[in-house]
């Protein structure tokens, strides 16, 4: 039996969990969702989802992980063997594989953009139209995109083979503070651009007439994706936690930093987008790849700055992708007794092959672009696994803790070493018993009725 990994300190755990949370979801996907769903009203709905639904479920995942010291499947095998609740584990593992597969494709794009910026590809390109063309032809180039996807997956593999402390923890500690500093610089430049106020208005002035069931579902899905919830990443990371850490403080830090980074990303993108012109806020998957290169041309030392930014984006993606990989790897190690090395290579290889259709879904291959139900393969998988499955996972996890495990047991684990204040017990209990399941259920029913 191999010894199970453990974090070196509470700070290390928070950085690793924040590393998992902060990723392409914040910098790439959050602005896309804001753009598609009408700007500021979406941002407000999103905040409510994070703190009313996301935070209690994150606490729930940490608790499940730490009590059982197991992965997403193992945790339920220990607590309720041979019960239908195992579906949460199956769903979690499946989502881990699938999300990793397309996440790595987009992360590959950021690697490509890092290299292009270094080479000075964007120096002469100043209009939004032109950067759009460059982006479109880049993602149509199948072999390049697949090559970058492979390169990124190899990076994940190298980190995760190092294990919990020497791999995941060490890298997150260095890379997360760096990402934050650069993002801040970028925001300062963006909000001082000409016409930045138009972008700020789009981003910060809510228009509630645009809020529909779809907006709320998108916000909920985005909250789950961004906080890495609903598929066991936080169960797995919580399982490497010692009994003396304060779970609530950790969860609060992760939610706050994750939300702050997403908010800052929007603050960098929308002023730049309106200032550059020629790009719609609804531009979709390519948003940051089209807006940012144009922005960098307006900045002194823009090329160096741009390269550094895309590099950090790769890093943010890396600290998230390793948690997706670890969810599946931990299962093979804990429950099937595999060696870490074998498990990592196996999972990474499968996720690589699974990602190929996504890599080809923007023009690389006709069938992948046509996709399913009018959506390209990548967008389709993101909808089913990145939005829907995570939200369903969150619903099942809250029901499991509130009604199968029972709040008394869960509260005992949450309040182990540190005594919890009574408002926290109250909030968490009712959030898991009522707020989370009811709000998610209403949303699903609304969706089915309006579909």
Q: Which residues bind ligand PHE (CB under 6 A)?
A: 20-21, 23-26, 99, 225-226, 228, 231, 233, 320, 323-324
Asked if residue 149 lies in contact with residue 104, where contact means CB atoms within 8 angstroms, the answer is yes
- The tally of CA atoms less than 13 A away on the side-chain side of residue 146 is 14
Q: Smallest gap, in angstroms, from Cβ of residue 390 to ligand PHE?
A: 7
Of 226 and 297, nearer to ligand PHE (C-beta) is 226
DSSP state of 6: -
Of 105 and 231, nearer to ligand PHE (C-beta) is 231
| Residue 46, token pair as written in the block | 């999103």
Q: Smallest gap, in angstroms, from Cβ of residue 394 to ligand PHE?
A: 11
Q: Smallest gap, in angstroms, from Cβ of residue 35 to ligand PHE?
A: 17
Q: What is the DSSP string of 358-414?
A: HHTTTTTSHHHHH-BTTB-HHHHHIIIIIIIIHHHHHHHHHHIIIIIIIHHHHHHHH
Asked if residue 275 lies in contact with residue 195, where contact means CB atoms within 8 angstroms, the answer is yes
Q: Smallest gap, in angstroms, from Cβ of residue 315 to ligand PHE?
A: 12
Asked if residue 418 lies in contact with residue 246, where contact means CB atoms within 8 angstroms, the answer is yes
Query: What's the rounded Cα separation, in Å, for the pair 138 and 135?
Result: 5
Q: Smallest gap, in angstroms, from Cβ of residue 225 to ligand PHE?
A: 5
Of 146 and 233, nearer to ligand PHE (C-beta) is 233
- The residue behind tokens 């009712």 is 430
Query: What's the rounded Cα separation, in Å, for the pair 320 and 366?
Result: 30
Q: Which residue is nearest to ligand PHE (CB)?
A: 25
**Calculated CA dihedral for residues 171, 176, 179, 183, nearest 10 degrees:** 170
**CA-wise closest residue to 113 among 356, 338, 393, 309:** 309
- The residue behind tokens 């930045």 is 196
Of 276 and 351, nearer to ligand PHE (C-beta) is 351
Of 276 and 378, nearer to ligand PHE (C-beta) is 378
Of 231 and 288, nearer to ligand PHE (C-beta) is 231
Q: Smallest gap, in angstroms, from Cβ of residue 12 to ligand PHE?
A: 18
Of 106 and 273, nearer to ligand PHE (C-beta) is 106
Q: Smallest gap, in angstroms, from Cβ of residue 100 to ligand PHE?
A: 8
């Amino acid at each position: 039996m191999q010894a199970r990994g453990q974090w070196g300190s509470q700070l290390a755990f928070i950085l690793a969990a924040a590393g998992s949370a902060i990723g392409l979801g914040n910098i790439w996907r959050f602005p896309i969702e804001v753009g598609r769903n009408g700007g500021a009203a979406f941002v407000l709905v999103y905040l409510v989802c994070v703190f009313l639904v996301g935070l209690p479920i994150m606490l729930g995942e940490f608790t499940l992980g730490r009590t059982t010291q197991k992965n997403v499947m193992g945790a339920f095998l220990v607590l309720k063997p041979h019960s239908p609740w195992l579906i949460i584990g199956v769903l979690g593992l499946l989502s881990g594989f699938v999300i990793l597969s397309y996440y790595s494709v987009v992360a590959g794009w950021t690697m490509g953009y890092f290299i292009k910026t270094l080479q000075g590809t964007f120096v002469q390109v100043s209009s939004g139209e032109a950067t759009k063309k460059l982006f479109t032809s880049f993602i149509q180039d199948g072999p390049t995109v697949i090559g970058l996807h492979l390169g990124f997956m190899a990076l994940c593999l190298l980190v995760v083979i190092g294990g919990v402390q020497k791999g995941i923890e060490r890298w997150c500690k260095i890379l997360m503070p760096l990402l934050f500093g650069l993002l801040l610089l970028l925001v300062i430049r963006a909000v001082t651009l000409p016409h930045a106020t138009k972008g700020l208005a789009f981003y910060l002035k809510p228009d509630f007439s645009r809020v529909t069931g779809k907006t709320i579902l998108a916000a909920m899905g985005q909250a789950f994706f961004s906080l890495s919830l609903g598929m066991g990443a936080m169960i797995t990371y919580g399982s490497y936690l010692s009994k003396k850490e304060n779970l609530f403080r950790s969860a609060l830090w992760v939610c706050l930093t994750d939300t702050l980074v997403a908010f800052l990303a929007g603050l960098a993108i929308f002023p730049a987008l309106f200032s550059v012109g020629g790009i719609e806020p609804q531009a979709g998957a390519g948003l940051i790849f089209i807006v940012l290169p144009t922005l960098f041309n307006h900045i002194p030392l823009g090329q160096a700055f741009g390269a550094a930014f895309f590099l950090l984006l790769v890093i943010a993606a890396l600290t998230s992708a390793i948690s997706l990989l670890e969810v599946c790897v931990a299962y093979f190690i804990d429950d099937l007794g595999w060696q870490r090395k074998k498990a990592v290579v196996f999972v990474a290889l499968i996720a690589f092959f699974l990602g190929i259709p996504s890599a080809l879904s923007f023009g690389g291959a006709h069938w992948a672009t046509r996709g399913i139900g009018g959506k390209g393969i990548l967008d389709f998988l993101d909808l089913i696994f990145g939005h829907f499955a995570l939200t369903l996972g969150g619903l099942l996890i809250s029901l499991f803790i509130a009604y199968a495990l029972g709040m008394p047991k869960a509260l005992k684990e949450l309040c182990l070493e540190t005594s919890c204040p009574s408002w926290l017990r109250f909030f968490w209990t009712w959030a898991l018993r009522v707020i989370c399941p009811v709000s998610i259920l209403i949303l699903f029913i609304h969706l089915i009725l309006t579909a």
